[in-house]
Amino acid sequence: MTASPVTASTSLFKGGPSLIDLMLDVGELRLTVTGPRMLFEKLVLVTTLSALDGCTVARLRDVAGLLEGTVHCGLIGVQRAEITVVTHRSGGRLEIGLGPASMYQSELVLRTRTGESFRRWATRLSDDPTRAFLAALHAETATGHLEHGHGAPSEHGPESEHDHGGGQHGGHP
């Protein structure tokens, strides 16, 4: 187990970069997130590798198990970051939660469980560790403001009168 004591820090904010390079020789990433689940829904692993290169759902699950994260919020305290692999017809994707929507700002601290660098961790995605590829986290933009019921579509549909009171919101046209 190779320890990487170095930490990299970055911020996610409206108008800022939404791609976080994982090909770094650090074992810990600290991401300050403005508007968790309001401006940014989650982080999604993006890579130029395909399933033919070894980046299969099973491989994504293996590498997801080697990550751990905590979300630090002033209001809620510290909680475990949700790290999941979501499957779909064309494969899967690794997603990392950013914490509760009730915070203006939070900090996500992401580490490899093995103590290795994120660059070394990312090479596990491929059958060929010498292959050059991109691995990054993409900050997925939130689709709606959860406080006002615009997050996930309801049983009445995403823009129903039931959710918006006949097209008015909070008494405003």
> 59, 92 in Cβ contact below 8 A?
no
Of the pLDDT bands very low, low, confident and very high (cuts 50, 70, 90), residue 84 is very high
What does the pLDDT read at residue 73?
85
Global pTM reads 0.78
| 60-69, 73-82, 137-146, 148-157: least confident range | 148-157
What does the pLDDT read at residue 163?
37
Distance between CA atoms of residues 90 and 88, nearest Å? 6
Q: What is the mean pLDDT of residues 82-86?
A: 97
| 81-85, 109-113, 132-136, 159-163: least confident range | 159-163
Distance between CA atoms of residues 136 and 138, nearest Å? 6
Per-residue pLDDT at 40 exceeds 80: yes
Q: What percent of the chain has pLDDT over 70?
A: 79
| 47-61, 69-83, 109-123, 140-154: least confident range | 140-154
**H helical segments located in the chain:** 57-64, 118-123, 161-164
Of the pLDDT bands very low, low, confident and very high (cuts 50, 70, 90), residue 2 is low
E strands present in the chain: 7-12, 19-21, 28-34, 40-47, 67-73, 77-80, 83-88, 91-97, 105-112, 135-141
Per-residue pLDDT at 124 exceeds 70: yes
